[in-house]
Each structure stands twice: as C-alpha cells, then as structure tokens.
Amino acid sequence: MKEFKYVITDPEGIHARPAGMLVKAVKEFACDIKIAKGGKAMNCKAIFGVMGLAAKKGDEVTLTFDGADEDAAYEAISKFMQENL
C-alpha cells in the first residue's frame, strides 16, 4: 500500500469540477484508492464521496493506493493533485 498527504492549494478547494476530474483520473486504475480528511475516508472513485469531504484550501487530505497498479496510480494521482488542486 502506498500513501501520500497533500495540502489543498486551490482557492475553492475540491469543488465539483476538480472532484469530477479527480474521479475520472482515478478510474483509470484498478487498485483501491481512498481519500481521507479528518479521519473520514471515502472511495476516491465516487464523486459524492470526494465532494462529501468538503476539502477547502489549506486542508490536508491523505490518499491511499492498494492493489496491483498502485505504483502507477500513486505517480499519476500525485502529479494530478499538484497540477490541479
């Protein structure tokens, strides 16, 4: 299992548009990907789960990757977060 923490830098946080982009990006991988904030973990492949975290600018989220392609997913989603959130 791989994991990384990321502090949201987008002024509007994870709102609908970037949440949709994130879900689309993680669905390219077969491994389980979770996003968590404040002890609450959600399936990162479900837009309502991602938006349900209500992550704002300055919030720290933790993404975990578990499965066959976790290394590729970790690299791609780490890059996605830095470029978009």
Catalytic residue numbers?
A: 15
Q: What is the 3-state secondary structure (H, E, C) of 35-65?
A: EEECCEEEECCCHHHHHHCCCCCCCEEEEEE
Helix (H, G, I), strand (E, B) or coil at 9: coil
d(CA 26, CA 32): 9
Q: Give the CA distances from residue 53 to residues 8, 30, 59, in Å, rounded to whole numbers and listed in that order.
A: 12, 22, 10
